[in-house]
Chain A
Amino acid sequence: MIADLPIVNYLVIDGDEPYLQATVCDACEAAYLGSRIACARCGKRTFHHRRLPSKGTVGSFTIIHRAAPSIPTPFVSVLVDLEGGTAVKANLVGCPPDPEHVSLGMAVELTTFEAAADESGTRVVAFGFVPSDRGVTE
């Protein structure tokens, strides 16, 4: 059996389709990616989980051309404003890494891809975003 591990604990891959899960403050509704000990906005210590929408728009981006030798370049890093307001950072995939093809405000949606695998068959699953008009492929 092949075991899949999400690259971070706020990516949920054991359901019917992958999604991002926010840790939300019970008191003030501040939404976090990953777990928290206390809310950085209000200090309360209880949280619940919320499934985040898979669609959003590019609120900002950069195209990285120089990085550590083990990291393939160029790649596009995007800040995506998900429907409902939560922001998330990821790679934009399935899109040429140049300013002619990446634009502020473009509609994108969540996708997943294999980031790494070891000999035992364990695969690390990462998430990214693709332009919405291209469908979810990769």
Chain B
Amino acid sequence: MRVNDPDSLWIIGVAMTSFGRYADRDAFDLGAVAALDAMLDADVTIADIEILVAGSVNQSRQYPAQRIQKLIGQTGIPAVNVLNACATGATAVRSVCQAIKAGEASIGLAVGCEQMGKMGMLGAASLGRERAPFEPRGHDGVVMPTEGLLGTGLMPGVFAQAGMRYAGLHDGVGFEQFAKVAQKNHAHSVLNPLAQYQKSFTLDEVMGAEMISYPNTLLMCCPTGDGAAATVVVSGERLRSMADDVQRRAVKISASVLTSDPWSPDGLVQPDVSTLTRNAAVMAYEQAGVSPHDLDLVELHDCFATAELIHYDNLGLCEPGGAGDFIDRGAPWRDGEVPVNVSGGLLSKGHPLGATGIANLFEVATHLRGEAGDRQIEGATVGMTHVLGLGSACSIHILERSAS
């Protein structure tokens, strides 16, 4: 039996459903399936679980934790719902980690689930123009909806503007570099049977697709979809009492970080997606005692191709200001210097909001266990997950392979 720090945190089970569209299931069915699969993977049952934290964005008001309990087992344990934009799933995992660190539990279950259907990538069909009466409302005295009159505040535009802000500050970044990000992730997705889309595209096809929000074309925007993911986390002390095979496959959570927006001048006019990511990365590397050079793979929040490119820099994967050259030289491809989004990323794998933060833990943990099949990154020992929700919330986890 292996020795580990009793206060350390370990993933012993993790699972995700295929992402896509499920007309015959609701978000809680999907959450239940992922939870059962994660517990099966961990060789535990709901009777073992001491805390359940679940999250969804669109279904949050229906209280997914309690709904899922009714599908997998009502054992009377504390059940908590979290809502934290696209960082909802990661926040659920972090909340389980906190309960374990606080000594209230030694094993917990985190679930993220979502049903989006074909709600449209903009998610804002109701944001049309209103007519009279014109009266100032709120602290900005807004008289009528401003979308399309005072610029854009919707996600495709926000992330496009974040990318173009970076392009304005650094050389060698433009439409083509952003498009190469999407080309890479679509190519990666072909190896992932759980991805919503598994189709490769040429750079010309990516750049020639319908323009949504320059410089992001349709193939550079993540789709909406349904799905769920779940994970079972234990303390190092609890892990010591578990079967050898569970210990062998356990993946260490070396860092679990959550940040929000600090004040920044750019944050006045639109969410600043970079500063909180940079802050989270610094904290995560310090917590884990690793550097970007130690990472064997990264699953980062590519809701739009422009977002992934700037996160190369925000996460310290490339030289400062060097994200354009980083993609140009193929560094984030699966056979490159730091494989990024070998799952296909949100662009191809899909982005059921609440599930995303746990699905990327599934991807990294599966590689660290050496169980990723055709898409395995050989010999992976350290990996990072990153999610970013507008508002903003950023969560980073660093995972390490069991030393045994």
Contacts and interface: CB of A to CB of B under 8 A. Distances in A.
A118 B211 contact: no
Given A86-B265, A90-B151, A63 B211 contact: yes
30 contacts: A6-B141, A7-B143, A8-B142, A8-B146, A9-B136, A32-B268, A41-B263, A60-B165, A61-B214, A62-B214, A62-B215, A63-B211, A63-B213, A64-B148, A65-B210, A70-B128, A71-B147, A71-B148, A72-B148, A75-B148, A77-B152, A79-B270, A87-B268, A89-B269, A99-B175, A99-B214, A104-B167, A116-B131, A116-B134, A118-B132
B2 interface: no
Most buried by A among B131, B142, B151, B157: B151
B270 A89 contact: yes
A95 B151 CA distance: 14
Nearest to A127: B150
B212 A115 contact: no
B139 interface: yes
B335 interface: no
A134 interface: no
B122 interface: yes
A77 B161 contact: yes
A27 interface: no
Given A35-B139, A71-B148, A116-B134, A61 B164 contact: yes
A115 B161 contact: no
Given A59-B168, A91-B148, A35 B134 contact: no
Contacts of B266: 79, 87
Nearest to B168: A104
A62 B164 contact: yes
Contacts of B162: 60
Contacts of A104: 164, 167-168
B75 to A, nearest CB: 43
B269 A64 contact: no
B273 interface: no
Interface residues of A, number: 56
A79 B166 CA distance: 12
A67 to B, nearest CB: 6
B65 to A, nearest CB: 32
B150 A8 contact: yes
A88 B129 contact: no
B140 A9 contact: yes
B331 to A, nearest CB: 24
A118 B133 contact: yes
Interface in B143-173: 143-144, 146-154, 156-157, 160-162, 164-165, 167-168
A41 B154 CA distance: 25
Given A62-B161, A87-B265, A7 B128 contact: no
A107 interface: no
Most buried by A among B134, B146, B215: B134
Contacts of B216: 62
A130 interface: no
B242 interface: no
A119 B216 CA distance: 40
- The 4 A-B residue pairs with the shortest CB-CB distance in the complex, in nearest-first order: A9-B141, A34-B140, A118-B132, A77-B151
